[in-house]
Structure 1
Amino acid sequence: MQTLVLLGRHLDDAPLFPVEDVAGIFDLLAPALVDHPLYGEVRDLLDTATDRVAGQSARGERAQARGLTLVKSGRLLEALREVHEAKLRWWHGETLEGGLTMLLLCSRIYSELGLAIAAKQYALAAAAAARSAPDQELTRFVPRGIILAAQYDHQAGNWLSATQLFRIGLMAQNAYLDEPFNAERYPYVWDMMTNQALTMNAALAVRPRFAPMLHEVMASVGFATAIDEIVASIPSKPAATEDLYANEADAHGVGRPFSDAGPKRRYTWSALGVDWEITCANDRPSVLAAERFTAAVQVLVAEMATRDPLLLPGRLAVEIHADTAAVSHRYERCRQVADPDATRWIVRLAAVDSQDLEAGLNDLTAAAVSVLLSQSLLPDEAFMKLIEESYEAGLWHKLVAGRPYDELADFLNPDDYEAMAALAEPAVGATTALNSKPKSAVLKAKSNAQDLWISSSGGRAKGVLSRVSDRQVTE
């Protein structure tokens, strides 16, 4: 690798050197080289040299090739970094199709990591970008993005919202594509159809009062009969109890069924030893704010995972409030509250103004960083250095995904939220403690953080507890 560094630094003086051949071999060997400390420098030197030969699109192609190779080898976090790079390089009119493909690949990787709302954000970003693209052939990405977003909503436990989003996706599928329901051409439709049948089956088993709402939504697009036929083919489980559904969700690292039912909505997942729980009122402004925050936190967690932020194992709970205007006082925007069983925060977020995207994103990331910092064993200065490194590596464009989250995800109308909030029965397993596991082994707790936790007196080192609990976001 040192030889490659030397080569890369002198490529300006060797214009006839076959840099593309060397770069191609490097890409194929990426899974074996990615852990080397010089990997990033060599990659950037070869990419820069390739840019001079073939431009930004070639750099995007190489990043895509590395990303796909890393996905196949199970290196999801490293693959995500390369795919984000490819997305950025292809975000131009003549190469936008590649950029849309990379957005969907980002969403797939976030989903496989168990970060479902980040996955939903990226699928919706692909749909939105395709809808506004000057090339009408790219509109085929619109229904695909929406239906994949419905799948990720289902993964997050939002089974009612996913049903509504699937309905919208089916209408888009019918409007934009020929042979719209051909299973061979569009398998993502039938993947979600299976999820929808599982939703109805679970409702009939443990939430029968939800079944008429689900049936009505699917009937509005002519798919209720197809769903009923799939449900009828599912082997019956006499022991399909509420606890069984909740335990299965926890074991697979996905949200508990119907987490969007009742007056309070809940988002849960596990990553890096932390059991996350985001809650909000089940109304349109609150849900959009909560999902905006959740997506940002999940993108940040994926970005920080390779840097090891030394997070304390335990429960981290955040209650999101949507405000009509920005809260001026920082302490009121993001406030930690006492709780013996969890690190608990109350976060107030105003809707993001598309005309002032930077200010809204600054408030969002400040809240996400503050919450994550409160769970870290690192000194504040060391933690913020990791954040700075993440920004240098492109965190900003990873958080934005093209448009503000509220614009991307604003498909449901207020009446839909009112109907879900009015349901008397809550999420499946709402009264039992979470026992969630990371969906991907990639996001299991780091051993050094676990060792620090276990070896410390009473679970936390003296002084660490007071330092962490004293971290407040103040002026």
Structure 2
Amino acid sequence: MATLNQLAGQIRFQLEQLSPHDGHHGFEHLCRHLARARICSNILPATGPVSAYGDQGRDFETFRTYLHESPIANSSFVGLASQGPIAFACTLTQKSKIKSKIESDVETIMGEGTLVIDIHYFCTTDVSVGLRHSLQKWAKEDHQVLLEIHDGQAISEDLTDQDTFWIAVQYLSVPAELYPAPQNKDSEKWYFKLVETWKQAANLPENYADFSEMKAAIRHATFTDTAKKDLPFWIEQMELLINSTPFDALKRKGTYEIAVASLRGLGSMIGYEEQLLLYFDKVPELTAPVDIEDATTLWNYCSGAHRQNAIQVTLESLDNWRSSIVDKIESELRASTQPGKRCLLLETRGQLYMVPEPEKKNRYTINKTIASWLELALLVDKAPLFPLENFADHLTQFLELPIIGTRLENHPDFSKLTQQIDELLAKRHGGFVAAEKCRDRAMVFYKRGEILRAIKEVHKAKIQWFAEETLQGALLATLFVSSCYKEIGLVFAAKYYALATAFIALNSANNNVQPLISRGLHFTAACDYSIGAYCGFFDFTDVSLMALNSFSKPIDTLTPEHELSDILFKASVIRTLTKRLNPDLLRLVDDRIKNWQGLENYFDDLIPEAEREWNKRDFSDIWLALEEQTYDRPFSDLGLFRSIQFNALGVTWRFKWENTYELTSIVEEIVAVVQIILADIAGTDWYLLRTTVEVEISFGESKEFDLEEIPSNDLGRWRLALSNTESMGKSDLIALQLASTLLSHASLLPTEQFDNRIEAAFRDGLSHKIFFGQPYNVLYRKLIHKNEFESTNRSVLSNPESDRPFKPVLHHQLSWYSDLGSGYTEESAKKALKNRYENSVRPIKYTLKRLAQQQSFIDAVHFLRAQGWLDWHILNATSLIVLNHHVNKEISVNTDREKHFKRFKELSSQPEDVNADSVPVSEFSVENLRFHLWISMQSTLKNLGFELHQTTPDFEAISDFLGTRYKYWTDDIDHPDYGF
């Protein structure tokens, strides 16, 4: 048995033999399979008819068509990564001509068709490092493309990996038995025994016993890197079984295993089309749900293979196969009254509808999938033996599928489905099992980057897990929630859950959770570090180090993953940054570091190294890096008054307070609650204005608390006065009421709709999210004492670079909803514009003629048009000025508002009186026109079904909302020339 180095040498030798024996076709297949395994899974040959791929991916198809017609059509293939198209080319050209060959092929690829972002070039000869770099530089400068060269040596080494060695076996005739046995051979002893048995078998396989053994082996080889080299052997054995067995059902099962193994293990079904045709012809004869499920699964594989050009069947055949399965499922559902069988059929029907029909590649039928599974959920209580836990696992697995997973999770009823299944699981198997499924879904969402969805699922899990026997799992879930909040910039929500983890672990008699004390405290410190609250970082690091000493085992060697390594790194960065920002603050930092006994030697090496690295960078670059990597300015918790600012859902949230121990613990709790609520509602559109909400918080003389809105047309300003005694015990309720008020202020939803949504959020468990274990301020004060807080003298120190703007990066999942608003259609917009023109012109017909002769008005119009005003904006504002002038002369709005409004409506519906008093032209200034258009925007909001909850409106935010979501500043229709 060879070593890996020897094996690479053997492969290298076989590669060199390809050219003399006219092995280009085999080398192309080899490169394509290797590229699928290592670079890009979505790869198609450049040769072959374009129609084989339908209308999927036009740019990609255009490029592929060009390659098909190009001089290198027989040595290229293409892929589509998330960033853009990739081109691949391969050659057997010898070393002396390789440079000119690569340059020629690159120029061909880049000459026409869709541009690519990368070119991966495979060759059997070796390419020196110098030549590789020269070619890469040429490709970048002359063609603006990245060039990667995979020469014979690199290919040989790649083919020695467990999951790619089968490529060498199939295309280079390298004996499979040359591959070194894995170190953990005992764990796969059964498999190696089967390999040995079947390689020595004298008789042909023919019965179910043989099939059972080979099925286990072929699936193991398909999905296990160490065994993938054996797949060709097992496929051959399964083909022997199909040919020798007298059982039709066994032939079908063998066909299924071969097709799946060939596609999943080797990347293609080509060559098995006739067997598949026979397989699907028998679908009408099936009766067992498991056989129908196999047919559905295999059809889904065939559909995917067709999109990847990995099977040679027509769309018509695929469509016929699918129709036969649909007909069979529906006929069995009509015929069966057994709940268990119906559940199995409904599950299968849902799986079939996940994949679009062949002729309608982009028309998914996820609605039918969800409907089938919701029907299953209603029925499953009557089928106690239905494998409900497996079905829940399948839901999680489906979420991991490209495209399909996204469509499933975005379906409005998917959460309803998972909630029903979780409740059924809890009823059948207990809450712990349901919690595991929530956790599994959360991890899938997290891996997909759907952080908010992951947070919601883990919140469900932690509630069902919260028992002494599963406390460790619950606290790990809590820490995971904390990390998710921090990742999207909701740092105080993250800090709350990290504090709760540490506190619950500290007060538990369960020894298994003791390590989570220091982990929770360390993560709390990391949260403060991420918002530049360096005093807070040192406060919680002090407590974290005490917990490490008390509850963790001593370590001999400090690894990069250890909490201490992170503490040392962050402290070194703070110290180095302080030296650049304000050396006067070095004493503060050094005094805190000196408290960490036993770590001094580490800083002797780390700090000079950090300073050398940071001294190379310009300060503006350092500041930019801070904006990209953290959420608030450095030393944000210094100063007599402290401020927290963050952006979420389009709103800038700002909180200010005197930097005292008592207020800090309460204000941070308020911010944490606001952030938890924002994360909870982020998945729905609350029609928020892009405005700023600012709250000044202080202690007052009131026994409860007093919230006062301060008039401002630029932002929402509030003053919250707390009771020094009552606030500590009711801080969570105060935070909740304030958060609801602030959210309502920024939302345009009618009050009833807003309240209904808040109530729905509480029904879905919001209260369990904003209150966990203990209120935030209680946790804070139990872990950080007042004398420790005040020992830093943070309130008398100044925040460095306080005048320099700090603009942290906003996580995309907290972005403002900018889609077109509900009810908007082009047709309705045109109808509204027609009414606006008619209603605006009617009461100012004669005034318009006079104004058209006034240069000051014309100048104002030209100025406003340059700012984006359309004619209907000008007419609307002009009409309001005229109407208000006439009505105010008759009735004062302060005297009788109702009568004033009634008279206004009367005049607006009547043509202008030719003898009416002329409105002074000075009334039509730019400022007055703008003001009256702003006033009209409130009516526009009302007509759209919204309510404005601001006492003094933020007109800029309203204008922005209408312009972005209802095309207020861009929509127009053909209209007469009004002379201005």
TM-score, normalisation: structure 1: 0.89
Q: Is the 8 A contact 1:246 1:429 kept in 2?
A: no
Which of 499, 512, 530 aligns to 1:124? It is 499
Shift of 1:279: 1.5
* Alignment correspondent of 2:715: 342
| 1:14 matches 2:383 | yes
Match for residue 393 of structure 1?
Answer: 764
What is residue 317 of structure 1 aligned with on the other side? 694
Give the drift of 1:232. Answer: 1.2
Q: Decide which of 402, 409, 412 is 2:784's aligned counterpart.
A: 412
- One-letter amino acid matched to 1:361: D
Q: Which residue of 2 aligns with 1:447?
A: 818
Could you tell me which of 237, 244, 247 is aligned with 2:615?
Answer: 237
Match of 2:634 in 1: 257
Uncovered stretches (5+) of structure 1, i.e. residues with no partner: none
Q: CA deviation at 1:238?
A: 5.7
Residue pairs, 1:167-178, within 5 angstroms: 167-178=542-553
Task: Give the counterpart of 2:680 among 303, 307, 312.
Answer: 303
Distance 1:90 1:181, change over 3 A: farther
2:660 equivalent to 1:283 = yes
Distance in 1, matches of 2:796 and 2:722, equals: 27
Aligned match for 2:464, one of 71, 82, 89: 89
Letter in 2 for 1:2: A
C-alpha distance after superposition, 1:100-127 (max 9, x if no partner): 0011001000001100111011001000
Distance in structure 2 (CA, Å) of the matches to 1:196 and 1:11: 56
Distance 1:80 1:289, change over 3 A: same
| Counterpart residue number, 1:5 | 374
Determine whether 1:38 maps to 2:416. Answer: no
Cα displacement (A) at 1:216: 1.2
CA-to-aligned-CA distance 1:321-348 (integer Å, 9 cap, x gap): 24587426xxxx2222123432221123
For 1:437 and 1:345, locate their aligned partners in 2 and report how far apart those are by CA, in whole Å.
26
Equivalent of 1:274 in 651, 676, 691: 651
1:28 aligned residue: 397
**Whole-angstrom CA distance in 2 between matches of 1:373 and 1:181:** 55
Distance 1:260 1:318 in 2: 17
In structure 2, distance between residues paired with 1:177 and 1:437: 36
Residue of structure 2 equivalent to 1:427: 799
Shift of the alpha carbon at 1:154? 1.1
Q: Deviations over 1:412-466 (max 9, x none)?
A: 333444455556553344224453431x2111111138999x9998797722699
Q: Which residue of 2 aligns with 1:227?
A: 603
> What CA distance in whole angstroms lies between the structure 1 residues aligned with 2:769 and 2:725?
17
Residues 115 and 298, structure 1, Cα contact 8 Å, conserved in 2: yes
Q: Which moved further from structure 2: 45-54 or 74-83?
A: 45-54
Q: Deviations over 1:244-273 (max 9, x none)?
A: 555444444611110111111121222112
What runs of 5+ residues in structure 2 fail to find an aligned partner? 1-369, 825-867, 874-929, 954-980
Cα deviation, residue 218, structure 1: 1.6
1:141 match: secondary structure: helix
Deviation string 1:284-317 (CA, Å, 9 cap, x unpaired) is 1110111010000100110111122222113222
> Corresponding residue for 2:238?
none
Identity over aligned pairs, percent: 24
Pair 1:335–1:432, CA change in 2 (3 A) = farther
Query: Deviations along 1:151-210, whole A, 9 cap, x unmatched?
Result: 001112211211121121111111110025854495333223222211111111112122
| Pair 1:369-2:740 in alignment | yes
DSSP-derived class of the 1:266 partner: strand
SS for the counterpart of 2:695 is strand
Decide whether the 8 Å contact of 1:215 with 1:224 is kept in 2: no
C-alpha deviations, 1:9-49, integer Å up to 9, x for none?
Answer: 11111111111111110122236121112212211221122
Residues 1:471 and 1:22: Cα distance change in structure 2 (over 3 Å): farther
SS at match of 2:937: coil
Counterpart of 2:346 in structure 1 is none
Alignment match, 1:467: 948
Letter in 2 for 1:375: A
SS, match of residue 462 in structure 1: helix
- Structure 1 vs Structure 2 CA RMSD: 3.0
* 1:185–1:402 Cα change, 3 Å: farther
1:455 & 1:382 partners in 2: Cα distance?
Answer: 33
Moved more, 461-470 or 387-396: 461-470
Shift of the alpha carbon at 1:82?
A: 0.1
The structure-2 alpha-carbon separation of the partners of 1:455 and 1:342, relative to structure 1 and needing over 3 Å to count, comes to farther
Aligned to 1:149: 524
Query: Alpha-carbon deviation of 1:239?
Result: 5.5
Deviates more, 1:227-236 or 1:461-470: 461-470
Q: Is the 8 A contact 1:140 1:176 kept in 2?
A: yes
Contact 1:259 1:266 in 2 (8 A): yes
Q: Secondary structure at the match of 2:540?
A: helix
CA contact (8 A) 1:253 1:269 kept: no
Q: Which amino acid aligns with 2:496?
A: Q
The 3 A distance-change label for structure 1 pair 218 and 361 is: same
1:429–1:99 distance in 2 versus 1, CA, 3 Å: same
Structure 1 residues 399-408 or 422-431, which shifts more? 422-431
The equivalent residue for 1:191 is 566
**Distance (Å, rounded) in 2 between the aligned partners of 1:262 and 1:124:** 25
What SS is found at the alignment partner of 1:366? helix
- Structure 1 CA distance, aligned partners of 2:869 and 2:667? 35
The AA in structure 2 aligned to 1:430 is S
Alpha-carbon distance, 1:397 to partner: 0.8
Task: Classify 1:259/1:144 alpha carbon distance in 2 versus 1 (closer, same or farther; 3 Å).
Answer: same
TM-score normalized by the length of structure 2 = 0.45
SS of corresponding position for 1:79: helix
Distance 2:394 2:515 in 1: 34
User: Within 5 A, what are the aligned runs for 1:133-144?
Assistant: 133-144=508-519
CA shift at 1:227, angstroms?
A: 3.2
The structural deviation recorded for 1:8 is 0.5
Cα gap change, 1:247 to 1:186, in 2 (>3 Å): closer
Assess if the C-alpha contact under 8 Å between 1:309 and 1:376 holds in 2: yes
Contact 1:282 1:417 in 2 (8 A): no
**2:652 and 2:693 in contact (8 A); partners too:** yes
Cα distance in 2 for partners of 1:415, 1:15 equals 61
Equivalent residues of 1:311, 1:449 under 8 A apart = no
Q: 1:363 to 1:423 in 2, by over 3 A?
A: closer
CA contact (8 A) 1:266 1:278 kept: yes
**Whose Rg is larger?**
2
Q: 1:49 is matched with which residue: 424, 429, 432?
A: 424
Q: Return the letter of the residue paired with 1:437.
A: V
Q: 1:182 to 1:307 in 2, by over 3 A?
A: farther
Please, which of 733, 750, 775 is the counterpart of residue 379 of structure 1? 750
Distance 1:402 1:181 in 2: 35
Contact 1:261 1:420 in 2 (8 A): no
